[in-house]
Structure 1
Amino acid sequence: MKVSLEFKLIFCLFSILILTGFQQISDDNTYVNDLKTWHQKRIESLKAENGWLNLAGLFWLEVGKNSFGADPKNNVVFPAGKSVPLLGYFTLKNGEVWVDIEPSAKVSVNKAPVTSLKIFPADHNIVLESGTLRWFVIKRGTKFGIRLRDLESSELQHFAGVKTYSIDPKWRIEAKLEPATTDKKIAITDVTGQTSLQTSPGTLVFSIDGKEHRLDAVESEEQLFILFADQTSGKETYGAGRFLYAEKPNERGTTILDFNKSINPPCAFTTFATCPLPPKQNRLSIAVTAGEKNYGNH
């Protein structure tokens, strides 16, 4: 039986379409599996010792001597039953923080007992330990605070994961960086009300459903960091917006914004974080139904 040239062409075209479809399915499955692996690592980072779920306190120091321990009369009050009544004193003076430990208290750094030590500033982050508690100094603007962790915190023990939207490749979008023509600074305000100027390499320009959108980025080590809010904020997602990281632009000036990797800021998980808020120009007019949904009631 003779097969017409037309039939052969149709068959070849059909075969190509089938193979292309299979390739697309395979690519989509790989993408979804990669996203699931990425999100699992994200969950593990939240639960880690340096994650956000075990925060148990944030205490702003006064200039001078600050007593700390479980006694409610202290300047810095640690959780009841987690330490002795008086562990010692923090002293804040001239931008330095020292700690002096009571002789009867057991406090260590890297398993080595501590009696008196300058803990800020230091060449590295000094973490003090007592039982399940860990604490260290943070600086926000002109304020100095003690951030406390409890490795057996109730938030950590009752954590059951973070809900997300279904993974959708349509939210993996190419964006063009519109470089800043000058030394561009963006005013970023955090939840404590303090504002700092952050260096911005420029504005990321992208399209969704044929409409152009713009987001200012700031620098974060070897990545771009984007604070954004959208029409899901305060409804299905965290009210103060979400975070998104992206690779720095390639030689063509483009990068990928994968909104499936949009994550909650630390303040969604704890009241003891000092999260930055999206600048007003980073409030999108659309609903970004991708990435993490709201968590808890913080």
Structure 2
Amino acid sequence: MTATLNTTAFTEEWTRWHEEREAALRAPLGWLSLTGLHWLTDSPEHLDGVPGTWWVTDEKVFITAQPADRLVFDGELVAGVSILTPVEGAPGLLVDNDGRQLEVIRRSGQFAVRVHDSAAATLRDFTGVVAYPADPRWVVTGNFTPFETERTVTTGAVVAGLEHHHRAQGTIEFTLKGQRLSLVAFGTPAELRVLFTDATSGVTTYPAARVLTVGAVAEDGTVELDFNRAVNLPCAFTDYATCPVAPAENRLSVAVEAGEQDPRR
């Protein structure tokens, strides 16, 4: 009876977490609201469905617009020329256009404009994320071994030609399905995460990678990996994201039949 109660409580807690995850995905101008991704060049040009003229000079984004274009940046209507300087790899700078958000980003030294629209079909038609049933057997304890100094791990991206540079803190060793496995952990010691693939990737789960938030390292050097909470990156839901792929060190040979499945299946 105790085991049944524990399993029921575990499932109920996971269900609450899963519902919160889906609620976040339904944010009016979140990842599901993306309707466009436009890469900028040093030639001034008009972007499809986007007012104004956009280009890049000296690693800055220039916008030329008229008041009638209704572009607003930093609370002011763009009239004439505005200059934006997005940070590499960081969330973009937002330009409002009648409720749409034009997000100006920098990735691998290239600049782009992502279009967020709360009326996007992907957001309107979203009915939830299919996931494996929650199962306590997919919760394992790992041992964290920090690197002597923080390392930078470079991975590719779902967009050809882009790279992602991750802060790697150390490795997590754990046993799953009778196999001794290891993952490189990114983030900070207070908030570790792992980006991984496994034998389900490209079959039932999204092929590029899933991400699992691990959290803080305990005083004894252990961490908890709850693979029931492995989630998709934004690129699983939209073609307009620039997500990383998993590093070679984090491609597991076992099938992790837990967490979110591929929404495009």
Aligned ranges 1:1-298 → 2 under 5 Å: 21-22=1-2, 24-67=3-46, 76-78=47-49, 87-109=51-73, 112-115=76-79, 116-121=81-86, 126-192=93-159, 193-219=161-187, 222-296=190-264
Q: TM-score of the superposition, structure 1-length normalised?
A: 0.81
Tell me the secondary structure at the aligned position of residue 104 of structure 1: helix
Percent identity (aligned): 31
Question: How many residue pairs are counted as aligned between the two chains?
Answer: 261
Please give the alpha-carbon distance, in whole angstroms, between the structure 1 residues aligned to 2:184 and 2:95.
Answer: 38
Q: Which amino acid aligns with 2:140?
A: I
Higher strand share: 2
Q: In structure 2, what is the Cα distance between the partners aligned to 1:259 and 1:98?
A: 44
Instruction: Give the Cα–Cα distance (whole angstroms) in 2 for the partners of residues 218 and 29 of structure 1.
Output: 32
Distance (whole Å) between structure 2 residues aligned to residue 230 and residue 157 of structure 1? 31
Cα 1:64–1:50 shift into 2, 3 Å: same
Any idea what SS the aligned residue of 2:214 has? strand
One-letter code aligned to 2:9: T
1:137-184 alpha-carbon deviations (Å, 9 max, x no partner): 110011011111111011111111111101000111111112213443
Residue of structure 2 in register with 1:8 after alignment = none
Separation in structure 2 between the aligned mates of residue 195 and residue 111 of structure 1, nearest angstrom:
32
Distance 2:192 2:156 in 1: 18
How big is the alpha-carbon RMSD for the aligned residues of Structure 1 and Structure 2?
2.2
Specify the code of the residue in structure 2 equivalent to 1:135.
L
Alignment-mate amino acid for residue 114 of structure 1: V
Task: Go from structure 1 to structure 2 and tell me whether the alpha carbon gap of 1:187 and 1:109 turns closer, same or farther (over 3 Å shift).
Answer: closer
Q: Is the 8 A contact 2:92 2:106 kept in 1?
A: no
**Structure 1 segments unaligned to the other structure (5+ residues):** 1-20, 68-75
SS in 2 for 1:53: helix
> Which amino acid in 2 is paired with 1:259?
F
Q: 1:141 and 1:58 mapped to 2: Cα distance?
A: 15
Deviation at 1:222, TM superposition (A): 4.3
